[in-house]
Each structure stands twice: as structure tokens, then as C-alpha cells.
Chains A and B, each alone.
Chain A
Amino acid sequence: MKSPWAREIGAMVRKEFRTELRSKSASYTAFMLSAITVFTLAFAFYGRELPPDAASGMLWAALLFAGVGTLTRAFVAEEEQGTGDLLRMWAHPHAVYWGKALFAFLQMSATAGLVTLLFFMLAGVGVSNYAMLGLALLGGSAALAGMVTLVSALVSRGSNRGTLAGVVALPLLVPLVALGVTAGRSAITGLAQPAGWASCGGVWCYTLLVLAMAPYQLAAVWGEP
């Protein structure tokens, strides 16, 4: 028998999947923005070797773009179409957060996976440490999903949400990107492995911190009137 938490979170994830499958707006936006980043850099460095710093930075830029679709979709879309009140009346704020964050994670992981494949096909960059790169990207996707879901809730009731979302998200995501790029560079070059693993651990610490704190912050700003 499913626990109430699992049932509620499952219901939220199914609702998000149904909405996305029928509108497809966020997935297309996220994938197109990420793919354009890859294509642009692949053309810019065509016939030349892509520096590892640029390669790692580009992967993270693509991952950030994958988050943009979630940022505008999660809670902002609920408020814009006026359905946020339905969730306030029907659901526990923590279930709403976990459902939306889990869906965002699945969507971003799929986009990140596709974009990473595309990137290595087009840019021809080799990877020395697949485990480190995979763990950093997986942790990064989870942290981004958790953070953009929270930021989306924070700005959803404000005016000029697009600008506000960028202003709020940027300082919160800078440490994650810095850690992720360092881990990615180390994974691609195979150099400075201890520093790479430390950064990878930093990405996961950031992820755990976001996922532990965000549901409570969400309940304070979004759920209760």
C-alpha cells in the first residue's frame, strides 16, 4: 500500500507529465536552447580542439538552459493560468514541491543526457573519467531541478516574473556552476582528480542542501496564505 506522501507526490508527477505531454512547450524550449548552445560552440571550434575549460563550461551552460524551461513552467505557469489555488486547496505544499522538483529532474536529466551525447558527437572531446562526469551532471541536474522549482515558486506571485526569476536564480546557482565546471574539467582532462572529486562532492552537498531546505521555504512562501 502506498504511503500518503508517495501517493501525493506520484499524483503531482503524473499531472506534470500529462500537462507536458499535451503542451510540450517546456521540453521543446529546454532542448532547443541546450542544443543551440552545443551547435554554436561546435561550429565555433570546428576543425580545432575544444579547450577542456570551454567544453566543461559549455556542458553546464546547456544544463542551465535545460533549467530555464522548468523555471518558467513549474509554479509560474500555475499562477498565470490561475490553477495555483487548486493546488493550495488540494495538496500539502511539500508534496507539490517534491512532485514538481522530481518531474523537473526527470525532464532535465533527459535533456542533459541528450545534449551531452550531442556534444561529444559534434565536438569530438574525449572523457578521461566518465564516473566523475556522470556523477557531477546527475547531481547538477538534481540541484538545478530543486533550485529552479523553488525560485519559480518564490517569483510566481510577483510582477515581472521573468526578470525577477533571473535576478533571484543567478546568485543562488553561481556556486553550483563553479563546482560543476571544475568537476567537468577534471573529468574531461583527467588532471587534478582529487580537486575534481572534491568539486563533485561539493555539487552533491549543494544538492542535498537545496533538497533539504527548499520544501520548507516553499511551504512558507507559496503554500500557506
Chain B
Amino acid sequence: MVGCEGLGKRYGRRWLFRHLDLAVAPGECLVVLGINGSGKSTLLKILAGVVPATEGRCDRGSDPRLTLGYAALDQPVYPVLTVAEHLELAAELRGCSPRVEELLAEVDLAYAAGVAGRHLSTGMRARLKFALAVQAEPPAILLDEPSAGLDEKGRHIVGRIIESRRARTAFVLATNDPEERRFATHEIALG
């Protein structure tokens, strides 16, 4: 379960959104729509706990390290750590199994296990971030523009990740891609 109550975010005098109440349960997929700058990514960052809200509160579960997965297009990775080292580090810090081979096979990145973050293409970085987001099999996963910058195969992987987990996981997707609306059980539009 992931959600928020009375959530609001203001930059300067401009409110991106206000009085937002959400509750997404396992089996549901909330798609957040909106034009560029409407606050879709900011909303997901607030839900993920990496950006502070101006008002309101979020429910991220008892231990967000294990109860929440997050992958965003603009999230950098460590330039000198390899793909496998990212998964090992995240697992040790979260206290879950690294599942390096299994996860890299799932996102079709096994061939790049020893490649450093700075040498990854946009699509490879996106796949690594998907693997990191699902590593602990959290009950809630936040995906910001999951298919942006991905080729056909990458888009297929995104679809597979969502479809294979949707019965037991709450998904929140921020997107401008009409194709990704097919995952939605609910939609909201910001802006």
C-alpha cells in the first residue's frame, strides 16, 4: 500500500498540487498523467521520500527500504560502481537478498553485470533501475516515465515487470505515454 493525505507541493508561490489524497493497494495501478511541469515526477519523488512535501503526509509502509521501490528516468546511478555492485550494495543496505543473476536476467542486463554505471546507455541504466526497484519485491512500486528512452525490447520488459507483479503489488506510474495507460486501474491528471 502506498498513499498520501492532504499532500501539497509549492515551489515559490506556485502550488504544483494541493489537498491530494491517494491510496493505492496491491492489485491496483494508478497512472498519473499531466503535461510537462505539472508535478508528476515531483509527486512520485515525494511518495518515494526523496523530496519533501510542503504539506500533508505520506504512507510508505513500515520500512520504505523494503516496502517501496522507485525508478525514475532522471535518477542517476553511481558512475564507478558496476551493475552487479549496485544490486549488491542496495541489498546489503536494505537487508534483502541481492538476487543479482535473477534480476539481471529479468531485465535482460546479464551481459552488462560488470559494466560501470558511467558506461551504461540510457536504456541500460533504466533496466538497472527497474532491477533495483523490484529487488526487495516491495508491495508498492513507483515508476516515473518507465518507457522513456527505451527501445521495443525495453518497453516489453517494463510491461513484463508490471504484469508479473500486479496481483501482489501497488503500482504508481507517472507517464505521458498513451500506451502505458493500458496498465491503469485508476488515473489522475495533474496541472
Given known pairs A89-B64, A90-B93, A91-B93, the reply for A18 and B77 (CB within 8 Å) is no
A residues near B68, Cβ cutoff 8 Å: 89
- Contact call B95/A18, Cβ cutoff below 8 A: no
Point out which of B65, B78, B95 has the most chain A C-beta atoms below 10 A from its C-beta: B78
- What residue in chain B is nearest A85 (Cβ atoms)? B50
- Contact call B81/A8, Cβ cutoff below 8 A: no
A residues near B95, Cβ cutoff 8 Å: 4, 7-8
Number of B residues, CB within 8 Å of A? 28
- What residue in chain B is nearest A225 (Cβ atoms)? B52
Q: Does A163 contact B (CB under 8 A)?
A: no
- Contact call B77/A23, Cβ cutoff below 8 A: no
B residues near A128, Cβ cutoff 8 Å: none
- Contact call B50/A15, Cβ cutoff below 8 A: no
Interface size class of A (residues with CB under 8 A): 20 to 34
Q: Does A11 contact B (CB under 8 A)?
A: yes
- Contact call A90/B65, Cβ cutoff below 8 A: yes
User: Which of B64, B74, B75, B80 touches A86 (beta carbons < 8 Å)?
Assistant: B75
- Contact call A88/B49, Cβ cutoff below 8 A: yes
User: Which of B45, B85, B93 touches A12 (beta carbons < 8 Å)?
Assistant: B93
Please encode chain A, from 6 to 28, with 1 for each CB lying within 8 Å of some chain B CB and 0 for all others.
01101110110011001100000
Residues in chain B within 8 A of chain A (CB atoms) = 45-46, 48-53, 64-65, 68, 70, 74-81, 85, 89-90, 92-95, 116
Residues in chain A within 8 A of chain B (CB atoms) = 4, 7-8, 10-12, 14-15, 18-19, 22-23, 81-83, 85-92, 95, 224-225
